[in-house]
Chain A
Amino acid sequence: MIRKTRIKRTWLAAAVIASGSLLATALPANAETGVSAREIKLGITLPLTGAASPGYNKIGNAMNAYFKYVNDNGGVYGRKVTLIQKNDEFSPQLAIAKTNELILRDKVFALVGPLGTANFTAVHKSVGLAKRRVPSLFLNTGFSGFSNKKSYPTSFMVLPSYAMEAKIIAQFLKENHAGKKLGIVYQNDEFGIDGLGAFKAAGTKFDVTIPYTSGTQSAATAQTWVSQLAAGGAEVVVMFGVTSATGALLGVSAAAKYAPQWILGSVGSDPVTLRALGVPVAVLNGAQTPAGNPSPNDTSDEYVKQFQEINTEYNPGVAFDDYVLQGMNIGLLTVQALRAAGKNLTRKRLIRAIETKGSKFASVAYSPLGFSRTSNVGHTGYYMAVMDANGDRKPFGGKVTLYTTDSGSGPVVVSTFKRPAMPAKGLPSNS
């Protein structure tokens, strides 16, 4: 009898503890989540540590630097923009957990620049971003599946899709490397498969095809890639992977004295990060790559010049590279979107503002933005570039020839689009 009473008492104690801990504070509802009279709270998950972190770990701080610059110059209609960064180590389950923290605990107004195809796919589904109507602005992924506006009504891309990139590379291969033996190393998930599908649709036939699983990239894995590529006699190799995988491939190739013509996908071609990963600059010399933005060293470009100044002051000690440029540009796009949504900021107004005014936003990339009521596609094209002996990127053929296309069966065409000018002092004044 005493034992039963004890059991009952213990279980009840456990229940009371559980109830008490769950009955913690419930915050009162605001007019709009993450927006107050003085602040707009934004969030991002990205790999700050782990195998995929080199390069990507700079994007959040670069965005933050730009927001601090804007805040010091009056903010967005007097509101300070705050960015909360969470480390997802490039793993989908951590991205889900951290996005939950951002939305449920930190109560951010919107996600900005979330990174990684597999991560965002998992986050969107698991957290239910569309159902919650949480805006997800300017995704740092080019998976063409995200351009499905019905499935992703609150998400907006910024990068040209991987399918667009593959179509443009395919055309470049046809025009410049016809008759050569081709090889490709690609990430075996939506990212790489998106590109591979577009290569196939464009009629590109690879003699050596090497998939790799995200997270398995290392010098040891790259040894097997190089062996296969060399054994297959690949003269031109397309690397369609993240920077850490590209770095491993180029580093091992240099050691093995295997030197095909490299064509590096835009995702993994940042020379500063590749050199930081130990890739000799001589290997980068002559590597060809599709590029959307000007070189981060091109100080004649008004965007690059302004962003470099902001980086020096607000992100001191950080080398200005493609990732910093991309992070600051997403910051610039975000501030324009927030301004376009008006003083009475709501999630609904923000989404509508990008749909109706987003295609006119100023952005560092050369190609047009595809935002409209029916499209959440960001930039729509690339130019081909070649790296020089300093690892700097120059337009292939001496001048920027911009190619635009879509993610479907549309043709690759040369575009005469002229991007909007950088707002004065890098501070948008749009409405």
Chain B
Amino acid sequence: MRKKIAIFILIGWVLLIIGDRVDELRVYQGAQMAMYTIALASIVLLTGYSGQVSLGNGAMMAVGGYGAALTLNNLGTPIWFAFLMAIVTASLFGALLGAAAARVSGPYLAGTTLALAVGLPAIANQFAFLGGEPGLFFDVGFPPERFGDEFTQYKWFFWIASFIALIALFITSNILSSRFGRTWRAIRGNSLAAELCGVHSSRMKVLAFTVSSGLAGLAGAVLAMTISLVAPGAYGLALSFALVTGAVLAGISSLPGVVLGAIILVFIPEISVALADRLGDADKLNNYLPGLIVSVLLILSVIFTPNGPGENLRKHLHKKPAH
């Protein structure tokens, strides 16, 4: 445990140094990476460990984002409390959904969560207190003045997002190595066998949904922070699909792999811009290329590395000590 804490502190320290050395675009992308890391961790926990497929994590992120924004805007609470409320709101919502989801599995569960991903942003659009399509502002404020004028808003976002991601990953990693993680893996492996061993599989599935939703909600609040806004369009179907792709590419049962998945998701627009510039007619191509790249990567990954390239990389790294 101490070694793990030391590693996380080391990573945090390295990120701080990097945040000082790179330009603002990379800092902004770093904050996005931290957001995707948390969101992908929620999928790894749910799908990779408890074996439940969800295509609706974008909707859970929306619940967290709105929870945080409503808390911050209406109660004027400190930022940390808004993030906490994002977890609480999304967890409660996830528990309700989990109770229903525990009754279905496989494609039926995927269909249910997909309906949520499609419907929830559209529903949010209809309520005035949720700000309609323009959404609600989520302003975490400027960085403290003592950091100086050179300390930009995006660096502040990067710090907050990285700090939250490190804590979220540390806690998730511990949960997954605990008896809960083992139980979820047992259920994923063989639900009936797990029940014969005394595991209450439905209850544990609901718990997995609750924890995963809490993480997704936290990611939703971090996303809201990076764009200072919570709006239905920010949590659309494209986000849910991108997250699933990121999780598959990362290796669906590999928690450290989520970092790789997050990097891929952040750099897809970069690749798209580079490709569009080479192919010409960049303005039009840029509209469709990111979606195309996500889809192609997902298909290729499923065909050639069903467990994801991240999983292959992990296995490769693990093989070495045995030689």
Contacts and interface: CB of A to CB of B under 8 A. Distances in A.
Interface in A135-175: none
Contacts of A13: 256, 313, 317
A10 B22 contact: no
Given A6-B317, A213-B132, A125 B259 contact: no
Main SS of the interface on chain A?
Answer: helix
Given A11-B11, A92-B135, A215-B133, A26 B227 contact: no
A94 B231 CA distance: 10
A227 to B, nearest CB: 19
Contacts of B284: 48
A10 B316 CA distance: 10
Contact of B317 (A2, A10, A26): A10
A85 B284 CA distance: 10
Contact of A15 (B11, B30, B139): B11
B221 interface: no
Contact of A87 (B28, B126, B287): B287
B229 A26 contact: no
Interface string A66-99: 0000000000000000000111010111101100
Contacts of B229: 92-93, 96, 122, 126
Given A18-B259, A19-B14, A2 B321 contact: yes
Given A10-B256, A216-B125, A26 B228 contact: no
A91 B28 CA distance: 20
Given A17-B263, A18-B259, A93-B231, A27 B23 contact: yes
Closest 3 CB pairs of A and B: A126-B228, A104-B25, A118-B134
Given A26-B26, A188-B132, A189-B133, 10 more contacts: A2-B321, A8-B3, A15-B259, A17-B263, A87-B286, A92-B135, A100-B25, A125-B228, A213-B125, A213-B132
21 contacts: A10-B254, A10-B256, A11-B256, A13-B313, A14-B256, A14-B260, A19-B15, A22-B29, A24-B26, A87-B286, A94-B233, A97-B227, A100-B25, A104-B25, A118-B134, A122-B227, A122-B231, A126-B228, A126-B229, A214-B133, A214-B134
Interface of B: 3-4, 7-8, 10-11, 14-15, 18, 21-26, 28-30, 33, 125-126, 132-135, 137, 139, 153, 227-229, 231, 233-234, 254, 256-260, 262-263, 267, 269, 273, 283-284, 286-287, 313-314, 317-318, 321
